Structure 1
Amino acid sequence: MAWKLVGRVVAQIANSRSRSYYTSRTKKLSLYSKISPLGNPNTSIAPELDDWVYKGNKVRVGELQRIVRDLRKRRRFAQALEVSEWMNKNGVCIFSPVEHAVHLDLIGKVQGFQYAESYFDSLKDQDKTDKTYGALLNCYVRQRQVEKALSQFQKMKELGFVSSPLTYNDVMCLYTNIGQHGKVPDVLTEMKENKILPDNFSYRICITSYGRRSNVAEMDRILKEMESQPHISMDWNTYSVVANFYIKAGCMGKAIDALRKSEERLDNKDGTGYNHLISLYAQLGNKNEVLRIWELEKTSCKRCLNRDFTTVLESLVKLSEMDEAEKILKEWESSGNCYDVSIPNSIIIGYTEKGLYEKAEAMLEDLQNTGKVTTPNSWTMVAGGYLHKGEMEKALRCLKTGLSLNIDNKGWKPNPKVISDILRWIVDNGTVTDAENLVSTLRSVVPVNRQMYHALIKTYIREGKEVNELLELMKKDNIDENEETREIVQMRKP
């Protein structure tokens, strides 16, 4: 199979005049269209690739490279690595230093820097260029391997591989990642001394280093220097970063000015910038600007994604503008976007934070009644709210619903305080059935513990039932009787 595969692929490449991504105006099935929907990170891509070639379909280098780029962009790194490995193993193309650098970066992301080192060591000397050295440096930076990163940086300088801002930016990111913000400006200074022009990212990292230390004066100085550079095209992101630090420093006038400059430079097709502005105006407490930018985003972008709705809803909830949030939730419901439980959850969280537990529960019930997914955490959050109000029956009802949903939320654990408070209430007010049902449901979520057994024993005693079987079950669950257990048992009427 492997040799047939290689033969087919090589023949197809030899017969192809172009390595560009193949497109067709017809709705013909493409390799990309088969791989793109396989979003589960545990799904293997190699069988799809093998099957595609086995069925006689063409495989073009450009298309595979596009698939790798797309998977990386969507953070599906394991699958991107698998495609890259398949290309290399099956001789689809001879890897240049660029392909090796991409492959090495993916290995670092998926398997760790040690495996990236091994791959780098296995490369031929002609493939150990600034690209592959830089990719390994990036792996060290990402995993905060300070000594290895700085050693790699020194080697690159000695080899003459530091001719662009990229390498210096990596070192500045390293210091940022480990919280040594004071060392970042020194790297920028060294870069300029070596006649390497900083790029937008270089300046933005340095601005961040001063912002994190609340040094507004130096942040202003770097910003003015950046604005004065003829090779720099000021972008919305830089002004957004600056505005955020101004807000934190209490410089509201400067923050508003930076936000205006950021808005002037927005990419009308990308909602990311609008989302940043919406969040920052929410930090300023400016509801009108939040809504104005939202309307601008809807007009400018082709369509608003779920992430865009999430941003504006969370911002309005933060501003306690629940009526406006409800209007936008209705916009989302009619948008045709796929269902995302986190979007209505934004409103539900807002309701609970403001004590509107009935409205939160009503929304959860409405979602369930229309076949929509809800999360156990949402229900137990509302249960906690009812507990705060002393409405124990409602709290128990919501907790039970939340626990019943746990089957689809493996790893979720209920709030221990909510469990503890409801168990105490059942001891005094609930029935044996209430206690048994709750403890039975809890068993499927968290390990049974002494508190649960004590609640059962107390409820049994209150209703005049024997507790000997309970005590035996308690032993089977490896929970020994302690002094408190014995005191509870002695509460039985003679």
Structure 2
Amino acid sequence: MWTLRRAANPLMNHGYRVGSSRTCCVKSDIVSNDLEDRVGACKPIRFISERLLPLKRSHNTPSIYAKFSPGSRSFSSQAGERSSGEQDGFIELEVPASADIIEESNTGEENVNELISEPELSDDDLAEGSHNDLELFDTETGTNEKKPQKKNASSQLFKVIMAAPGQSVQGALDKWVEEGNNLGRAEVSLAFLNLRKRRMYGRALQIFEWLEAKRQLDFVEQDYASRLDLIAKVRGLQKAEKYIEKIPESFRGEVVYRTFLANCVATLNVKKAEEVFNKMKDLEFTITTFACNQLLLLYKKIDRKKIADVLLLMEKENIKPSLFTYKHLIDTKGQSNDITGVEQLVETMEAEGIKPDIDTQAVLARRYISMGFKGKADAVLKEMEGGNLEENRGACRALLPLYAALGKADEVGRVWKVCESNPRLHECMAAIEAWGKLGKIEEAEAVFDRMFKTWKGLSARHFSALLKVYANHKLLAKGKDLLKRMGDSGFRIDPLTVDSLVKLYVEAGEVEKADLILLKAAQQNRIKPMFITFMAVMDQYSKRGDIHNAEKIFHRMRQSGYVSRMRQYEALLLAYINAKAPAYGFRERMKVDNMFPNKNFAAQLVQVDAFRKTTISDLID
């Protein structure tokens, strides 16, 4: 199973030693052709430590590491999967998505103060990566299977909390106790479950603070970790890190630190994530599949060349890859247009007895589509459907946009017909997206109207689904009408809405208006726009060669916490190139952020080098 490490031939061919202090930016064949032309942040990575377990190898099982490097020999491990052994607290750090009401969780790009504004956020692959899946293991089974959720789970306590004004949750709890109501762990857990489903982290945090201050419950490590998670989401990483110091040392275990690690990854804070990982090793916590998966998720978004380092660590520590590991490695291979690597990973995963779930199959189908293998994608979709789609209703949400990506309107209609008589909220969202991809605006609008009439208490993100369709088809007038409808309904704006709104004006050619909306949204609503929202505006300025405004967006992104991203530097450099203007100190700026140009990027830098020497300039000088 140790094929992952074989992704990195340079590790084995150039005398790489684990624990060395030299640079670990290893070039692996998982790196896409696109990344070959990008700039990598090359700096020493300490997380591969010298405290490594001995390797046990066998040659009778296909190795996932070998599958990453065609032609290399396979290795496998006899080591069993390691679980984290966390305690069973009253609230899990990540609520699994139910079939009815929960959408995908946010990547953490939006570090919103939700005590002021409590938006329902969604990843939807908008923030350059997948969602922040905390991938908690079931403490009873030792696996990472998600526990089933009650579809209509509710509680009187939850209703009281929802009825309370945003800043008066603790007062509502005082009144609840005074009236002699029960406040046991089961009741609190149910209230938390419902708050997390709605991404109301600010209210959930107020409850935690009240419980701890009033000593209503005996906290265990899982409870402290849950509060830490909420602090990170609501108040940021710095406050969360300070809270760790306040946790009693006996409860400051692996679960607490890996929760903080996951939040560092969610905000794409590479430096802090690596510091936390190293801290966990220094404290001699067992390195788990979960922790390694978090690093894989981070480097998949930021610097895929570092994935090889994580895989090497997993091999040395005998850490068995999970379904989550395979899913994201398949996605990475697909982004690299490596069809052979994708299929080898699937074969190895199945050989090791790991059955792909709907999400993994959807990733595989999406990558087949992006690589142009529509026949293979169609076969995966039929497998996802199973023998009877009505019995396999859970696949509909993924099937709708995938059939749309294949351009199969009839298939989208067939799948939607299965859902139409009794649709679920997330199926409606998927149908709006699918019809939008196919350019069938009326069908998308019909689904939206059905959704609006069926469910009360929809959020701004549900409007954003249709707003995105209008933006993609440059329907500015329809978009404005929808925005007016949102305003009349009293919906609060969230980062996803801002993204759709900004792109609506960008696609209509009104870049300055989009820029103004982006600025006002951040100032008036106290929200943090997503990375790709900034980039949508910056890219337009760069194409124009508008250096002033490109630099302005670059600066605002840094103020919002988006730093050390090559995507930003690429767009900024393009502005100078298109303006045919010199970029003074550009290399030095990159160096400060630990960003170093590769060959192709360096060639572009030469075009804007104010001190460039040419044959003519040499003669004149």
Structure 1 and Structure 2 fold alike (TM over 0.5): yes
**CA distance 1:239–1:124, shift in 2 (3 Å):** same
Unaligned segments of structure 2, at least 5 residues? 1-88, 92-153, 511-519, 526-621
* SS of 1:196 mapped into structure 2: coil
- Among the aligned pairs, what percent are the same residue? 27
* Secondary structure at 1:198 match in 2: coil
When residues 46 and 342 of structure 1 are mapped into structure 2, their CA distance, relative to the original with a 3 A threshold, is closer
1: CA distance, partners of 2:377 / 2:386:
14
Partner of 2:430: 311
TM-fit CA distance, 1:325: 4.5
Task: Give the 3 Å change call, closer, same or farther, for CA 336–47 of structure 1 in structure 2.
Answer: closer
Q: Structure 1 residues 56, 314: CA separation in 2 closer, same or farther (over 3 Å shift)?
A: same
Structure-2 separation of matches of 1:334 and 1:56: 38
| 1:393-422 deviation line (CA, Å, top 9, x unaligned) | xxxxxxxxxxxxx9xxx77xxxxxxxxxxx
Query: Is 1:115 paired with 2:239?
Result: yes
The answer as to whether partners of 1:107 and 1:115 remain within 8 angstroms in 2 is yes
CA contact (8 A) 1:77 1:106 kept: yes
Q: Which residue of 2 aligns with 1:228?
A: 351
- How far residue 267 of structure 1 moved from its aligned partner, in angstroms, is 10
Residue of structure 1 equivalent to 2:365 = 243
* In structure 1, distance between residues paired with 2:460 and 2:90: 40
CA contact (8 A) 1:317 1:346 kept: no
How many angstroms does 1:235 deviate by? 0.2
Name the CA distance, whole Å, in 1 between partners of 2:273 and 2:415. 41
Q: 1:29 to 1:228 in 2, by over 3 A?
A: closer
Bigger radius of gyration among the two: 1
Corresponding residue number in structure 1 for 2:291: 167
- The aligned residue for residue 321 of structure 1 is 440
Pair 1:77-2:196 in alignment: no
Q: Is the 8 A contact 1:247 1:255 kept in 2?
A: yes
Q: CA deviation at 1:141?
A: 2.1
Tell me if the contact between 2:155 and 2:191 (Cα under 8 Å) persists in the aligned partners. Answer: no
C-alpha RMSD of the superposition: 4.7
For this pair of structures, how many residues does the alignment match? 361
Of 272-281 and 154-163, more deviation after overlay is shown by 154-163
Q: Does the 8 A contact of 1:279 with 1:311 survive in 2?
A: yes
* Deviation, structure 1 residue 189: 4.4
Contact 1:20 1:63 in 2 (8 A): no
The answer to whether 1:199 aligns with 2:328 is no
Task: Provide Cα deviations, 1:309-346, integer angstroms capped at 9, x if missing partner.
Answer: 23313322332335644664665576466677887887
Describe how 1:72-471 pairs up with structure 2 within 5 A.
72-177=196-301, 179-230=302-353, 232-264=354-386, 273-298=395-420, 303-305=423-425, 307-322=426-441, 324-325=443-444, 328=447, 331-332=450-451, 335=454
Deviations for 1:5-50, whole angstroms, at most 9, x for unmatched residues?
xxxxxxxxxxxxxx999xxxxxx98212212456x7x443111101
Higher RCO, 1 vs 2 (CA within 8 Å, ≥6 residues apart): 2
Q: How has the CA–CA distance of structure 1 residues 267 and 106 changed in structure 2, closer, same or farther, with 3 Å as cutoff?
A: farther
Residues 217-242 of structure 1 deviation map (CA, whole Å, 9 limit, x = unaligned) = 22222222112222x23200001011
Answering whether residue 180 of structure 2 is matched by residue 56 of structure 1, we say: yes
Q: Distance in 2 between matches of 1:88 and 1:269?
A: 45
Q: Residue 239 of structure 1 contacts residue 262 of structure 1 at CA under 8 Å; is this kept in 2?
A: yes
1:99 Cα offset (Å)? 1.0
- Per the alignment, do residues 185 and 70 of structure 1 end up closer, same or farther by CA in structure 2, a change over 3 Å counting? farther
Partner of 2:159: 33
Supply the distance in 1 between the matched residues of 2:271 and 2:464 (Cα, whole angstroms).
44
Q: Structure 1 regions of 5+ residues with no counterpart?
A: 1-18, 22-27, 389-405, 412-494
CA separation of 1:181 and 1:313: change in aligned 2, threshold 3 A: same
* Alignment correspondent of 2:40: none
State the Cα distance separating 1:144 from its structure 2 match.
2.9
* Gap change, CA 1:212 and 1:345, over 3 Å in 2: closer
Cα distance in 1 for partners of 2:506, 2:337 equals 38
Q: Tell me the amino acid that sits aligned with residue 74 of structure 1.
A: R
- What TM-score results when the alignment is normalised by the length of structure 2? 0.49
